[in-house]
């Protein structure tokens, strides 16, 4: 699952350039019984299974020991702080991040207490597991690292800069099904284009994501 995402596009390019490296660890390798169990029934009853503290903590310790830098430990969970571009930037400043992807029924609460991990959610909905969420974090963080994006793909990062959405973009043809590209973009006046774009960013944010403007104030 991870190899598909980390082995293509921008996450792959970042690794190829030596800007980042990814290390995958299978928690099951820290299981101690013949069935390689990582979870068990919840004390007190109820549906689902709970990931066991000793197995998870061993996996964290084992993975941690593979590098001298102490990792920022993050447990993917819908109960965590919801990821936004500000947090992406914060994470990009860490030299080493460890993301723990569990099944959502849960991880034994003591893992959080013992490790002091940060819980992180990618949105208010429940996924079947933390793997997809972890990949979302990786992709969002890696693309902000210096040297990862080239001049051709930098524009997309205007979105959420200053808590504003990106301005509208157009390419050829100049007219399509009766719709024309705004004249200003063909004017060659870069100062006016920049002004127009900034205005558009504000207007679109007001219209599509007014919550971003409220957050700002």
Q: What residues line the site for ligand ADE (CB under 6 A)?
A: 76-78, 104, 121-123, 125-127, 130, 133
Nearer to ligand ADE, 90 or 180 (CB): 90
Q: How far is the CB of 175 from ligand ADE (least distance, A)?
A: 43
d(CA 11, CA 32): 34
Nearer to ligand ADE, 105 or 166 (CB): 105
Nearer to ligand ADE, 13 or 102 (CB): 102
Q: How far is the CB of 125 from ligand ADE (least distance, A)?
A: 6
Nearer to ligand ADE, 43 or 125 (CB): 125
179-180 vs 175-176, strand pairing mode: antiparallel
3-state helix, strand, coil in the chain (%, to 5): 45, 15, 45
Is residue 40 within 8 Å of residue 46, measured between CB atoms? no
Q: How far is the CB of 46 from ligand ADE (least distance, A)?
A: 17
Q: How far is the CB of 87 from ligand ADE (least distance, A)?
A: 13
39-40 vs 97-101, strand pairing mode: unpaired
Please classify residue 204 by burial: count the beta carbons closer than 10 Å to its beta carbon, then call 0-12 exposed, 13-18 middle and 19+ buried: middle
């Amino acid at each position: 699952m991870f190899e598909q995402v980390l082995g293509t596009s921008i996450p792959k390019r970042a690794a190829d350039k030596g800007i980042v490296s990814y290390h995958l660890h299978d928690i099951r390798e820290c299981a101690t019984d013949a069935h390689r169990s990582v979870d068990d029934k919840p004390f007190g009853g109820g549906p689902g299974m709970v990931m066991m503290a000793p197995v998870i903590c061993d996996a964290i310790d084992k993975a941690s020991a593979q590098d001298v830098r102490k990792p920022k430990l993050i447990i993917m969970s819908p109960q965590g702080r919801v990821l936004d571009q500000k947090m992406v930037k914060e994470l990009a400043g860490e030299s080493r991040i460890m993301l723990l992807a569990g099944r959502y029924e849960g991880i034994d609460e003591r893992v959080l207490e013992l490790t002091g991990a940060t819980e992180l959610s990618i949105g208010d909905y429940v996924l079947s597991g933390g793997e997809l969420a972890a990949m979302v974090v990786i992709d969002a963080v890696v693309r902000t690292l210096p040297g990862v994006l080239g001049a051709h793909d930098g524009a997309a990062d205007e979105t959420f800069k200053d808590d504003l959405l990106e301005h509208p973009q157009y390419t050829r043809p100049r007219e399509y099904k009766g719709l024309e590209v705004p004249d200003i973009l063909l004017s060659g006046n870069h100062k006016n284009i920049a002004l127009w774009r900034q205005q558009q960013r504000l207007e679109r944010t007001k219209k599509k994501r007014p919550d971003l403007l409220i957050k700002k104030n």
